[in-house]
A = this chain, B = another copy of it.
Amino acid sequence: MSMNTASGAERLVVIGGDAAGMSAASQARRMKGPDELEIVAFERGHFTSYSACGIPYWVGGDVTDRDRLIARSPQEHQSRDIDLRMRTEVTEIDVAGGRVRARDVDSGAESWTSYDKLVIATGARPIRPDMPGADASGVHGVQTLDDGQALLDTLARTRGRRAVVVGAGYIGVEMAEALIKRDYEVTVVNRGSEPMSTLDPDMGRLVHEAMEGLGITMVNDTEVTKLLTDDDGRVRAVVTRDAEYPADVVVLGIGVRPETGLAQAAGLPLGTHGGLLTDLAMRVRGYENVWAGGDCVEVLDLVSGQERHVPLGTHANKHGQVIGTNAGGGYATFPGVVGTAVSKVCDLEIARTGLREKDARRVGLRFESVTVESTSRAGYYPGASPMTVKMLAERRTGRLLGVQIVGREGAGKRVDIAAVALTAGMTVDQMTALDLGYAPPFSPVWDPVLVAARKAARAVAQRP
């Protein structure tokens, strides 16, 4: 292996200064000191290691200080012997030559940096609808801290109180909550039949009803065709196939795609979702010394056996940890995901793990699906609140395939029971015997997840 540095140390180059990239850099630094490993990291923006997931709560006012979303500043990284180059964008990866070209965003100056080991952590980019008005003033994404600040600036100077959120996934519903908290009249415009398309529609319906109960206007089954602007170029309305919604501010929450332009240009392998393909050690497939992680990769779904794109900070951190360990000379793997996600709209908690009905069908699984109503605590204990649990189990084997939960306080994190059971490949019948924590303030004597497992086990047994 070539030794690129004067000192004889190897050089690790990291592209991207957020969760995956800087976790990798930090972990590699823990494994090896600067005499053995030089670490150079490039970040094109102003921030490192921040919680994009926290942006809706900052916009909504739950978090008042932007800097609290920053886990580790550039200076902190630099003080740990990481040569972090801010506002410096990598513009090309030369895999054959073992080097990257980077451009100083402010000066435009470009230079090549060679590497022995490379980490690609370029993240994801928000999907911007290709329609008239999409770039108007008052139209905001919420992917980066800069985006969040721009939205807050707009909210501060906007007198009108009408907000339209485009998209009803996690970001959409969280932003609807944020805007309700800021006293906006909120309309959410959604392409799907119900909000939260990561749930089956029958469970999404519960979210829909709860959102309407919060005073949010939910418009499903429609598509935005254009945004109207006023003479100053400011957005004034959202136009769908069917109607026009006046808007003083528009938030786009229609998802993200892997940011893999550099990787694609370098000929690295991409999957069907546009993300980099890696092996279990998070190495880019076919490359000994190139790793990739975070929102720019696809991950193996352990339940379906297929790759998915799951842009979530918790995975990015795990990827970074695994990459840093391996790049630092140790050994670690990331086996895959089961598709766990949790969110909330005001006090409604929404969680899911594993496969939805359509996912299971798509990969050829036959299943039984059951839904039960239960409560978060013993029915007689104060604060017991209703909870709906849907569970899918494979026919014949009875293997757990997925769980969706909608309820109030205490509902969301119950999905972890199912996430571990999915990872372990448990059957719903095995789950009925799980020894879960029980006391009246915490659970009914049969935890709601166990009630669902019992019903699912009966359903499987009745149609073998």
Binds B, one of A220-228, A231-239, A333-341: A333-341
Indicate if A161 sits at the interface (CB-CB under 8 A).
no
Check A415 for interface membership: any CB of B closer than 8 A.
yes
Q: How far is the CB of A10 from chain B (nearest CB, A)?
A: 23
Are the C-beta atoms of A382 and B439 separated by less than 8 Å? no
Q: Are A438 and B314 in contact (CB under 8 A)?
A: yes
Flag whether A433 is at the interface (Cβ < 8 A): yes
- Verify if A441 is at the interface (C-beta below 8 Å from B): yes
Pick from B344, B419, B442, B446: contact of A412, CB under 8 Å: B442
**Bound state CA distance, A443 and B69, in angstroms?**
14
Would you list 30 pairs from A and B whose C-beta atoms are within 8 A, ordered by A residue?
Answer: A51-B440, A53-B438, A53-B440, A54-B440, A57-B380, A57-B381, A57-B441, A63-B382, A68-B379, A69-B380, A71-B445, A312-B438, A314-B445, A314-B446, A318-B432, A321-B454, A340-B436, A340-B438, A342-B437, A343-B439, A344-B439, A344-B442, A351-B437, A413-B414, A413-B437, A415-B437, A417-B420, A419-B434, A419-B436, A423-B426
Residue A378 CB within 8 A of the other chain: yes
Asked if A416 is at the interface of the complex by the 8 Å CB criterion, the answer is yes
Pair A317/B446 contact, Cβ less than 8 Å:
yes
Flag A318-336 by CB within 8 Å of B: 1 or 0 each.
1001000000000001110
Cβ of A432: which chain B residues have Cβ within 8 Å of it? 318, 321
Bound complex: CA A335 to CA B71 (Å): 44
Q: Is the CB of A338 within 8 A of B435?
A: yes
The CA-CA distance from A54 to B445 in the complex, in Å, is 11
Q: Mark A42-85, 1 if CB is under 8 A from B, else 0.
A: 00000000010110010000110100110100000000000000
Check B343–A51 contact: CB distance below 8 A: no
A351: which B residues are within 8 A, CB to CB? 437
Give residues in A with beta carbon < 8 Å to B: 19, 51, 53-54, 57, 62-63, 65, 68-69, 71, 170, 312-315, 317-318, 321, 333-335, 337-344, 349, 351, 353, 378-382, 410, 412-417, 419-421, 423-424, 426, 430, 432-443, 445-447, 454
Q: A51-B440, A312-B438 are in contact. List 20 more A-B contacts (CB 8 A).
A: A53-B445, A57-B380, A62-B382, A68-B379, A314-B446, A339-B435, A340-B435, A341-B438, A342-B437, A353-B435, A410-B413, A413-B413, A416-B437, A417-B420, A419-B435, A419-B437, A420-B426, A421-B424, A423-B430, A424-B424
Q: Which residues of B contact A62 (CB under 8 A)?
A: 381-382
Compute how far the CA of A62 lies from the CA of B353 in the bound complex, rounded to whole angstroms: 34
Q: Are B433 and A424 in contact (CB under 8 A)?
A: no
Which residue of chain B lies nearest to A441 when distances are taken between CB atoms in the complex?
B344
Bound-state Cα–Cα, A446 to B71, Å: 12
Given contacts A63-B381, A334-B433, contact A53 B439 (CB under 8 A): yes
User: What's the number of copies of this chain in the assembled complex?
Assistant: 2
Most chain B beta-carbon neighbours within 10 Å: one of A379, A382, A426, A434: A434
Q: Smallest CB–CB gap between A268 and chain B, Å?
A: 24
Q: Are A438 and B54 in contact (CB under 8 A)?
A: no
Closest residue of chain B to A457 (Cβ to Cβ) is B332
Top 10 closest A-B pairs, CB basis? Answer: A424-B424, A342-B437, A68-B380, A314-B438, A420-B420, A340-B435, A337-B435, A338-B435, A416-B436, A54-B440
A432 to B349, CA, bound (A): 25
Q: Which residue of B lies closest to A443 (CB)?
A: B413
A141 to chain B, nearest CB (A): 19
Closest residue on chain B to residue A461 by CB atoms: B330
A333 contact set on B, CB distance < 8 A: 433
Known: A342-B442, A420-B420, A442-B413. A378 touches B434 (CB 8 A): no
**Which of A337, A353, A424, A439 has most B Cβ within 10 Å?**
A439
Alpha-carbon separation in the docked complex, A318 to B69 (Å): 45
Asked if B424 and A420 sit within 8 Å, CB to CB, the answer is yes
Residues of B within 8 A of A57 (CB): 380-381, 440-441
Contact between chains at B343 and A54 (CB < 8 Å): no
CA distance A419 to B340 in the complex (A): 18
Given contacts A19-B445, A380-B68, contact A438 B313 (CB under 8 A): yes
